[in-house]
């Protein structure tokens, strides 16, 4: 792979030796001071035993984090024009195809007009860039700048190009044949990759808003690549979602196949011949023993989704972590990095190539009344990573992966520290892997998370059920800590998946394959042995403590055999598995999941009624006034 680089000075200031950094654009003093004060208040509140008071303080502070001049810049004044639509047969989920609409060939590309409107608005002191009602085609990223609110009026439908080349045209870093790329994060590892459809880096006081859910941002993730051009050659029937490749979940009920993927196709989890045959080619000073550990056996590490973590483990700098064209790492739809005072409000996002929203290292961010509606592979709804001060309020999620997943770095990319001071309230979840999830990428740690007054409605329970309600996932590679996680007042009227799904464990593990329903079926699932075969380096034991869950109410649904169940099991807690460790001696302490309380909860009737919970490496799990299949449970458990 030959690569040349043309760096902008701003990029050089914003890149550290091994990954993204905020150097050269430190948080504004007032914002940094407010973040520090919030962290101190959270710690004091936790010590005082009043977490919900602190949640209220955070929510009040983030009620309106932005303020703009009252000046509008309409994109039509900068040359934007609406487009005609034509029908196309496209994927609308993992398994379903339908005829939907896409911009007709020859549609006006509004990329330049929107860029010009944002630039003018920013230069003149800020305001609102307005996308009026109508259908708009955009063949490139919308890049947000400080003091600008990009606003979609009711009935505005933005169709982003589904051609990957359009997101390798405008980046800050010229990577030769790989395209002009941007500094980004992909599954919590830093890299140079395709731009996201909405992108911001090191900005302050920004917003993306809509009048209502008829204001739509459409990633066209399931539209075939050849649809607009009429191409019919190799790959023309593929779409962004094809790049997911083979699914690893065992006994899944839905979401088990990637659209148009068949064995033998290149995808993110298949060895890519464009990647080096040995890490020695890109990290020549890496000790041999370390290289062999990172690469593992065979060439699976050469798949893009394994090669990037390998680069992190090897300490390879960002400038050499080049993906883009010739690779299969799909961009997140809305990617906001190192920004302060951010508002996301009042629109619908759909058919996204990958994660729907991914803020990284942001401070003071509110997402409110957003409909995260994408059922494709890895269509997580909202994934805040290493953020401090986040309010998620009044949103609805219907997703092809976790509805909300809080992240905090992976491998050695932990420079932004933990995710903390996050409030989730008054939201509704439907399909998804987890409704409220922590991890799996959490190497930097997660603390002070508050989730309350939620409805996990799971309206698609018969065909595409919510897998798990409250979920933690980590392992001996991802490590990190979770502490001070509070949940209360959650209604789950249609339960969760009532059959078990599994992940493969390591050969010889004390956890046999198909023995723990960690992938789906538990109402509350803490999985500290998440997909261990996916990571060659397993040297960082996670720590989980001080979790308090109360007033969760789970309903039963009718299964195919006419019985009524709420889940497969009420509780699954698979603590860290010491067997998985493969680092040097002495092995660090592998601590049990500890000090968990579950209070005043009714779990309905699990289908595995003989074993309504599974515990491994757990200490001091307290069940107080818990009801399972109509029977009260008050006990303290360890295993």
3-state secondary structure 247-287: CCCECCCCCCCCCCCCCCCCCCCCECCCCCCCHHHCCCCCC
Domain spans in the chain, listed from the N-terminal domain onward: 72-150+159-320, 457-583+598-639
Burial classification of residue 626, based on how many CB atoms lie within 10 Å of its CB (0-12 exposed, 13-18 middle, 19 or more buried): buried
Given this model, what pLDDT does residue 9 score? 33
Alpha carbons 4 and 381: distance in angstroms, whole number: 35
∠ CA 12-13-18, rounded to 5°: 70
Do β-strands 127-131 and 72-74 pair in parallel, antiparallel, or remain unpaired? parallel
Alpha-carbon distance values, 626 to 68, 98, 472 (Å): 49, 44, 21
Structure-block tokens of residue 382: 């909202």
Structure-block tokens of residue 55: 């949640």
Beta-carbon count within 10 A of 44 CB: 11
Which residues have a Cβ under 8 Å from the Cβ of 175 and sit 6 or more positions away? Answer: 3, 4, 5, 181, 192, 322, 324
Given this model, what pLDDT does residue 41 score? 56
The answer to whether 503 touches 519, Cβ cutoff 8 Å, is yes
Beta bridge partners of 202: none
Residue 613's nearest CA partner among 517, 470, 506, 503 is 517
Burial classification of residue 411, based on how many CB atoms lie within 10 Å of its CB (0-12 exposed, 13-18 middle, 19 or more buried): buried
Alpha carbons 178 and 1: distance in angstroms, whole number: 9
Q: What is the DSSP code (8-state) at residue 45?
A: H
Q: Report the C-alpha dihedral over residues 210, 212, 215, 218, rounded to 10 degrees.
A: 100
Given this model, what pLDDT does residue 20 score? 65
Alpha carbons 290 and 540: distance in angstroms, whole number: 15
Residue-by-residue DSSP string for 49-86: T-HHHHHHHHHHHTS------S-EEEGGGGT-----EE
Alpha carbons 469 and 270: distance in angstroms, whole number: 31
Walk along the chain (639 residues) in steps of 10 and give the mean pLDDT of each run: 36 46 40 51 60 98 98 98 98 95 97 98 98 98 98 98 98 98 98 98 98 98 89 85 89 82 94 98 97 97 98 98 98 98 98 98 98 97 98 97 98 98 98 96 98 96 95 97 98 97 96 96 98 96 98 96 96 98 96 98 98 98 98 98
Alpha carbons 580 and 568: distance in angstroms, whole number: 26
Alpha carbons 474 and 590: distance in angstroms, whole number: 13
Residue 476's nearest CA partner among 314, 617, 292 is 617
244 φ/ψ angles, rounded to the nearest 5 degrees: -60, -40
> Which uninterrupted H or E stretch holds 334?
strand 334-337
Which residues have a Cβ under 8 Å from the Cβ of 476 and sit 6 or more positions away? Answer: 529, 532, 535, 538, 539, 540, 541, 542, 576, 577, 580, 581
Do β-strands 468-473 and 434-439 pair in parallel, antiparallel, or remain unpaired? parallel
Structure-block tokens of residue 608: 């595995």
Which residues have a Cβ under 8 Å from the Cβ of 623 and sit 6 or more positions away? Answer: 598, 599, 633, 634, 635, 636, 637
Q: Cis bond leading into 557, ω under 30°?
A: no
Alpha carbons 605 and 471: distance in angstroms, whole number: 19
Alpha carbons 126 and 363: distance in angstroms, whole number: 20
Residue-by-residue DSSP string for 362-381: -EEEEEES-EEEE-STT--S
Given this model, what pLDDT does residue 38 score? 55
Alpha carbons 449 and 418: distance in angstroms, whole number: 11
Give the 3-state secondary structure of residue 126: coil
The answer to whether 10 touches 22, Cβ cutoff 8 Å, is no
Give the 3-state secondary structure of residue 288: helix
144 φ/ψ angles, rounded to the nearest 5 degrees: -80, 145
The answer to whether 370 touches 424, Cβ cutoff 8 Å, is no
Structure-block tokens of residue 30: 């007032």
Given this model, what pLDDT does residue 8 score? 35
Which residues have a Cβ under 8 Å from the Cβ of 167 and sit 6 or more positions away? Answer: 140, 141, 161, 194, 195, 196, 197, 331
Given this model, what pLDDT does residue 39 score? 55
């Amino acid at each position: 792979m030959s690569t040349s680089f043309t760096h902008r000075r701003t990029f050089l200031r914003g890149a550290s030796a091994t990954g993204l950094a905020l150097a050269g654009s430190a948080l504004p003093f007032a914002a940094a001071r407010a973040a520090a004060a919030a962290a101190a208040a959270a710690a004091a509140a936790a010590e005082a035993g009043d977490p919900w008071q602190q949640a209220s303080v955070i929510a009040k502070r983030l009620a309106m984090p932005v303020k703009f001049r009252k000046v509008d810049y309409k994109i039509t004044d900068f040359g934007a024009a609406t487009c005609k639509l034509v029908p196309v047969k496209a994927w609308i989920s993992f398994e379903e195809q339908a005829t939907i609409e896409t911009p007709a060939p020859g549609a006006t590309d509004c990329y330049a007009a929107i860029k010009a409107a944002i630039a003018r608005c920013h230069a003149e002191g800020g305001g609102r860039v307005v996308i009026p009602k109508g259908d708009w085609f955009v063949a490139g990223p919308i890049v947000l700048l400080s003091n600008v609110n990009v606003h979609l009026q009711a009935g505005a439908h933005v169709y982003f190009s589904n051609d990957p080349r359009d997101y390798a045209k405008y980046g800050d870093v010229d990577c030769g044949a790989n395209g002009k790329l941007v500094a980004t994060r992909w599954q919590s590892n830093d890299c140079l990759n395709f731009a996201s459809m909405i992108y911001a880096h090191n900005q302050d006081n920004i917003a993306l808003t809509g009048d209502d859910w008829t204001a739509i941002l459409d990633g066209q993730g399931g539209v075939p690549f050849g649809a607009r051009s009429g191409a019919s050659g190799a790959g023309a029937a593929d779409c962004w979602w094809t790049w997911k490749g083979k699914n690893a979940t065992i006994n899944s009920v839905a979401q088990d196949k990637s659209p148009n993927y068949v064995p033998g196709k290149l995808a993110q989890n298949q060895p890519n011949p464009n990647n080096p045959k040995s890490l020695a080619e890109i990290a020549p000073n890496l000790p041999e023993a370390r290289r062999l550990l990172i690469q593992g056996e065979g060439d699976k590490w050469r798949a893009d989704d394994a090669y990037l973590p390998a680069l992190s483990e090897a300490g390879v700098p960002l400038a050499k972590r080049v993906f883009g064209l010739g690779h299969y790492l799909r961009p997140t739809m809305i990617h906001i990095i190192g920004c302060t005072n951010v508002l996301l409000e009042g629109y619908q996002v759909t058919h996204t190539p990958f994660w729907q929203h991914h803020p990284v290292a942001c401070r003071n961010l509110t997402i409110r009344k957003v409909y995260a509606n994408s059922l494709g592979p890895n269509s997580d709804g909202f994934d805040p990573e290493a953020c401090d001060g986040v309010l998620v309020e009044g949103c609805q999620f219907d997703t092809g992966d976790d509805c909300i997943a809080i992240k905090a770095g992976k491998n050695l990319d932990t420079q932004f520290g933990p995710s903390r001071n996050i409030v989730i309230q008054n939201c509704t979840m439907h399909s998804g892997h987890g409704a409220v999830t922590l991890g799996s990428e959490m190497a930097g740690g997660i603390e002070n998370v508050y989730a309350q007054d939620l409805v996990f409605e799971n309206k698609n329970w018969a065909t595409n059920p919510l897998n798990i309600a409250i979920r933690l996932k980590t392992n001996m590679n991802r490590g990190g800590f979770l502490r001070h996680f509070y949940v209360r007042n959650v209604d789950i009227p249609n339960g969760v998946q009532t059959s078990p799904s599994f992940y493969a464990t390591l050969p010889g593990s004390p956890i046999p394959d198909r023995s723990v329903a960690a992938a789906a079926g538990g109402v509350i699932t803490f999985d500290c042995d998440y997909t261990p075969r996916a990571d060659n380096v397993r040297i960082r034991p996670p720590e989980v403590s001080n979790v308090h869950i109360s007033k969760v109410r789970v309903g039963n649904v009718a299964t195919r055999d006419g019985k009524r169940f709420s889940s497969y099991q009420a509780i699954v807690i698979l603590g860290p598995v010491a067997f998985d460790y493969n680092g040097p001696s002495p092995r660090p302490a592998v601590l049990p999941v500890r000090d968990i309380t579950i209070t005043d909860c009714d779990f309905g009737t699990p289908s595995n009624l003989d074993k309504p919970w599974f515990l491994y490496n757990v200490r001091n799990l307290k069940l107080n006034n818990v009801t399972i299949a109509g029977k009260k449970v008050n006990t303290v458990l360890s295993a």
